[in-house]
């Protein structure tokens, strides 16, 4: 079943055409990694999937709902699409627990008891049950990112988007976060991950998209793409980072 | 010394009027400021335009002229009758409101965009984002600037003596008219304003500690 359908997606910032013509279908439970050089449009692509960026042309459907339509209930659709940011973006004035239960209570109307119970489960899952009453600024980067993942999961999303979730972390923190993401993938979450972690892409993803200058230049299952890149631009990109 | 002690009951009445006018005006001013700031940031051009005209008009004219406008100007219509205190409160409230609006707008705009993106990506509406994420954080940051404006507004209330409101300044004049002790009385009045402003800044530093940015 197709979870995300992207057809001829175009995105410009004024004169700057960032996404030129992107089409891709992502199936339920599929894990797709997006790689590409800085400025190639990876984040912009991801942000078009939950309309954090207004889409210039083409169509994006999430679980059958066209999110580009004017009358689409974007808040409702976003509840189904969790997003994890490079800079965590936790709410600094709220405790870890409050960060997690806010959206379930306010957007979904979940009762406080149910939201807290769910949050405790999620904190246990990401290995942070003892941090419920801490404030974000007292946490390490790796802990912050795991809270951010728990916060997104608290909405029971159908899809999780990750924008370089480990790029702002100290090297020794990266493993904990990738471990949580791997577990999520194993549980069957549909995931789109912008990453520079080629090990993760190789081990966890079903498919890798290489984006360059606003186009998907090459896509393949990870082993094939990494060991046998067909396109010359993929080859030159991989030779620089591997 | 005796002059001063005799004057105290009169001055105390003035302090009460000053405090009353100030508290009501500053609360109203804050509400006006919040609404105008949200208008100013609204995508609807008409709201935007209303806020811009309001803010520019108030900031671009002297408060004394505004006071005369609200008291003498508006009262020149048969169907309007504002008493002095109401006109005075409106003037200070609207004046503070225009400055609050700019403070709040700047505070909201200085927030990290990532906060809004995180909130919206969770499915929170724009209004929920403002209410639970942006405003609580922005207000904490703005407290020192709010205090500044509150102090200015407290001083501005002394202008209301011009239309005969019996505030601290007016009461000082009344006492001087009867005693001719201008030096002593204005000194005491000054000290009293100073104490009120000092209390205000104590309150502000208490609030800053209470709602410390984490
Ligand atoms: N809001 C914006 N306004 C104008 N230009 C933007 C905006 N956001 C992104 N861009 C531009 O779009 C291009 C693609 O940006 P994007 O963030 O999608 O790249 P990226 O592939 O995620 O890069 P990185 O690996 O550095 O994160 C860049 O040239 C960037 O400057
Ligand atoms: Mg990026």
SS3 category, B170: helix
Would the pLDDT of B213 be above 70?
no
What does the pLDDT average to over A43-60? 96
**CA dist., res. B38 & res. B44, Å (int):** 11
Q: Report which secondary-structure segment, H or E, holds B205.
A: helix B182-210
Q: What is the CATH number of the domain that holds A203?
A: 3.40.50.300
Q: Is A13 on the interface with B (CB under 8 A)?
A: no
Would the pLDDT of B4 be above 90?
no
Confidence of residue B214 (pLDDT cuts 50, 70, 90): low
Confidence of residue A226 (pLDDT cuts 50, 70, 90): very high
A22-A63-A35 Cα angle (round to 5): 35
Q: Is A87 on the interface with B (CB under 8 A)?
A: yes
- Condensed to tens digits (0 to 9), the pLDDT of residues A194-220 reads 999 999 999 999 999 999 999 999 999
**By percentage, how much of chain A surpasses pLDDT 90?**
97
Is A52 in Cβ contact with B123 (below 8 Å)?
no
Q: Is A107 on the interface with B (CB under 8 A)?
A: yes
Identity of the residue in B117, B124, B136 whose CB atom sits nearest the CB atom of A106: B124
Residue partners of A74: CB distance under 8 A and separation at least 6:
A51, A67
ipTM computed for the complex:
0.94
The residue nearest atom 29 of ligand 1, judged by CA position, is A39
Q: Which atom of ligand 1 is nearest to the CA of A86?
A: 27
Contact A50, A78 (CB under 8 A): yes
- Condensed to tens digits (0 to 9), the pLDDT of residues A62-89 reads 999 999 988 899 999 999 999 999 999 9
What is the residue-averaged pLDDT of chain B?
Answer: 95
Q: What is the CATH number of the domain that holds B149?
A: 1.10.3720.10
Identity of the residue in B118, B124, B140 whose CB atom sits nearest the CB atom of A107: B124
What is the residue-averaged pLDDT of chain A?
Answer: 95
Give the pLDDT score at B211.
82
Domain count, chain A: 1
Instruction: Provide the phi-psi class of A213: left if phi over 0, else alpha when psi is between -120 and 50, else beta.
Output: left
Residue of B123, B135, B137 best to disrupt the A interface, most CBs of A under 10 A = B123
Contact B28, B206 (CB under 8 A): no
Is A87 in Cβ contact with B114 (below 8 Å)?
yes
For residue A164, the CA-to-ligand 2 centroid distance in Å is 7
- Of all residues in chain A, the one with the smallest CA distance to B125 is A75
Is A81 in Cβ contact with B124 (below 8 Å)?
no
Query: Residue A201: which domain range?
Result: 2-239
Q: Mind telling me how many Å the CA of B118 is from chain A's nearest CA?
A: 6
Q: Where are the alpha helices (DSSP H) in B72-181?
A: 74-75, 84-109, 113-121, 126-128, 135-156, 168-179
Q: Report CA-CA distances (Å) from A44 to A90, A188, A198, B27, B113.
A: 21, 25, 20, 43, 15
Confidence of residue A48 (pLDDT cuts 50, 70, 90): very high
Is A85 in Cβ contact with B120 (below 8 Å)?
no
What does the pLDDT average to over A127-138? 96
Would the pLDDT of A149 be above 90?
yes
**CA dist., res. B203 & res. B208, Å (int):** 9
Identity of the residue in A78, A92, A137 whose CB atom sits nearest the CB atom of B121: A78
**CA dist., res. A33 & res. A226, Å (int):** 12
- Condensed to tens digits (0 to 9), the pLDDT of residues B46-81 reads 999 999 999 999 999 999 999 999 999 999 998 989
Domain count, chain B: 1
Closest Cα to residue A100, out of A144, A139, A140, A152? A152
Query: Residue B157: which domain range?
Result: 1-211
DSSP category for residue A134: S
């Amino acid at each position: 079943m197709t979870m995300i359908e992207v057809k001829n997606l175009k995105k410009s910032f004024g004169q700057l055409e960032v996404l030129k013509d992107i089409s891709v279908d992502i199936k339920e439970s599929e894990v797709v990694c997006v790689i590409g050089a800085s400025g190639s449009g990876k984040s912009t692509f991801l942000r078009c999937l939950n309309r954090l960026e207004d889409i210039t042309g083409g169509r994006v459907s999430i679980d059958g709902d066209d999110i580009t339509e004017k009358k689409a209930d974007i808040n409702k659709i976003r509840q189904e699409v969790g997003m994890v940011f490079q800079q965590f973006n936790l709410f600094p004035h709220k405790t870890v627990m409050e960060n997690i239960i806010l959206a379930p209570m306010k957007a979904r109307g979940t009762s406080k008891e149910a939201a807290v119970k769910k949050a405790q489960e999620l904190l246990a899952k990401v290995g942070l049950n003892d941090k419920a009453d801490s404030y974000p600024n007292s946490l390490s980067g790796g802990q912050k990112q795991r809270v951010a993942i728990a916060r997104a999961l608290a909405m029971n999303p159908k899809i999780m988007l990750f924008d370089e979730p480990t790029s702002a972390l100290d090297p020794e923190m990266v493993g904990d976060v990738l471990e949580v993401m791997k577990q999520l993938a194993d549980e069957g979450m549909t995931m789109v991950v912008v990453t520079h972690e080629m090990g993760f892409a190789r081990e966890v993803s079903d498919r890798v998209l290489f984006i360059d200058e606003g186009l998907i230049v090459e896509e393949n299952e990870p082993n094939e793409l990494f060991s046998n890149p067909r396109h010359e631009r993929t080859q030159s990109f991989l030779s620089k980072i591997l | 010394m005796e002059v001063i002690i005799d004057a105290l009951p009169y001055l105390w009445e003035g302090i009460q009027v000053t405090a009353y006018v100030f508290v009501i005006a500053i609360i109203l001013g804050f509400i006006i400021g919040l609404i105008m700031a949200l208008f100013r940031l609204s995508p609807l051009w008409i709201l935007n335009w209303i806020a811009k005209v309001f803010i520019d008009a108030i900031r671009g004219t002297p408060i004394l002229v505004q006071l005369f406008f609200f008291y003498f100007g508006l009262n020149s219509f048969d169907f309007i009758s504002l008493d002095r205190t109401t006109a005075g409160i409106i003037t200070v409230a609207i004046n503070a409101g225009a400055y609050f609006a700019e403070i709040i707008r700047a505070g909201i705009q200085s927030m990290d965009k990532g906060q809004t993106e995180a909130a919206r990506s969770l499915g929170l509406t724009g209004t929920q984002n403002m209410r639970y994420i942006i405003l609580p954080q922005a207000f904490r940051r703005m407290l020192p600037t709010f205090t500044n404006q509150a102090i200015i507004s407290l001083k501005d209330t002394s202008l209301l003596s011009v239309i005969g409101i019996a505030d601290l300044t007016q009461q000082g004049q009344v006492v001087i008219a009867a005693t001719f002790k201008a030096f002593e009385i204005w000194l005491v009045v000054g000290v009293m304003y100073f104490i009120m402003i000092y209390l205000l800044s104590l309150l502000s530093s208490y609030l800053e500690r209470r709602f410390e940015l984490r």
